[in-house]
Every structure is written in structure tokens, then in C-alpha cells.
Structure 1
Amino acid sequence: MEFTTDIKIGQIVKSKAGRDKGRIFIVCSVADEQNVLVCDGDLRKLDSPKKKKIKHLMIYNTVLTEFAFKLQCNENLDDAYVRKLLEPFTKNVSVEMEVE
């Protein structure tokens, strides 16, 4: 069983299951032992993040500490900023999907 103890706010994840399968998200917060809240600034906005189980996510080693710091300091974060942060990762995913 997988737990959220290894997940950090600002970590990049990819959905393995559900309607959003294959989409890249950033972790906004840890909900409980098995769930996190994720957003991508497009389908899932910062003000309404998606609750996902850890077992339905592929966890990347990349942690965007700048995002976590701004979130912690209550700085003005918007969905455009999140999309900009995730852009390099979403480009890689779309290239992978074309190859398959």
C-alpha cells in the first residue's frame, strides 16, 4: 500500500487512472494518508483541486519548491502560473503519446 509520507507539495505527478488518465498535475496539498489534492491550471484549477489516491498516480522525482514556497506564503498564485510550470512536462507527455 502506498502512503503520502513520501509526497511533497509541489511534486509533479501523472494520472494513471480515471478520466484524466495521462495528464500531468502538481500536488497542491496532502489530504490524508492515501490521498492528495492535485491541480493543473487547466482542467483542475487551483481553487478546485482534484482529490486523487496515491495508487492512481505515477510520482515523478521533480519537486517545484518555488510553487510550494509561494503556496505556503499565500502569494498570488493563478492558474496561468501553474500551466507555465507544467508546460515542459506536458510537452514530454504529448511526445510520448504520439510515439505509442
Structure 2
Amino acid sequence: MDENTLLGKVVNSKAGRDMHKKFIVVGILNSEYVYISDGDLRKIEKPKKKKVKHLNFTDTVAEEIKDSILSKKEVTNSKIKIFLQSADIRKEV
């Protein structure tokens, strides 16, 4: 699993209390865990650590957010929230 392909990806949670919610991958811990944020309940300052196997990955990538993370720029919660609300998110086939 390549870090650059996961970062910024929009995911759907398929297990846990946050089931069926949309998040953006904001960090990668290792091959099993990623950090996700929705800008609302899970803020960028305190992202949720989640197992990759509990996530459905979509084809949608938040390029602006991904670029900000990679260039160590600040990512705001409102940017994440707005992206998740406005994005046309499709499931991976």
C-alpha cells in the first residue's frame, strides 16, 4: 500500500460507531492503520486511528487537502467538511 495513493482519499467507514460516515485519510500509520478526519466530529487536530480493513475506499481524492498535508501546510476542518459535503463521491469498483 503506497502512502501517496491513500492520502487524501475519501473513505466510508464500514464498522464501528462511525459506520456509513465519510472521512478523508489525513495520515498513514502503517499498512494496517490510517488516520481519518471528517472536519466535524473527528477534527484534523485529533484524527481517528482506523483499521484499513474497516474502510471502503472511494475513487475520490481531495487533491487540495492531500497537497496541503504533503507540503506540511495547515489543513482546516472547514476545508475537509466543505469537501465532503460538496464532493461527488463514487465507490471503487
TM-score (norm 1): 0.79
Indicate the residue corresponding to 2:8 in structure 1. 10
Kindly state the Cα deviation for residue 74 of structure 1 after the two structures are TM-superposed. 2.5
Indicate the residue corresponding to 1:49 in structure 2. 47
Identify unmatched segments of 5+ residues in structure 2: none
Per-residue CA deviation, residues 28-60 of structure 1 (Å, 9 max, x unaligned), is 011111110000000100000001111111110
Q: Does 1:28 align with 2:40?
A: no
Per-residue CA deviation, residues 75-95 of structure 1 (Å, 9 max, x unaligned), is 232111110111135x97xxx
Instruction: Name the aligned partner's letter for residue 64 of structure 1.
Output: A
Indicate the residue corresponding to 1:83 in structure 2. 81
Instruction: Name the aligned partner's letter for residue 42 of structure 1.
Output: D
Q: Displaced runs of 4+ in structure 1, greater than 3 A?
A: none
Indicate the residue corresponding to 2:72 in structure 1. 74
How many residues matched? 87
In terms of fraction of residues, the more helix-rich structure is 1
TM-score (norm 2): 0.84
Larger radius of gyration: 1
Instruction: Name the aligned partner's letter for residue 25 of structure 2.
Output: V
Deviates more, 1:59-68 or 1:9-18: 59-68
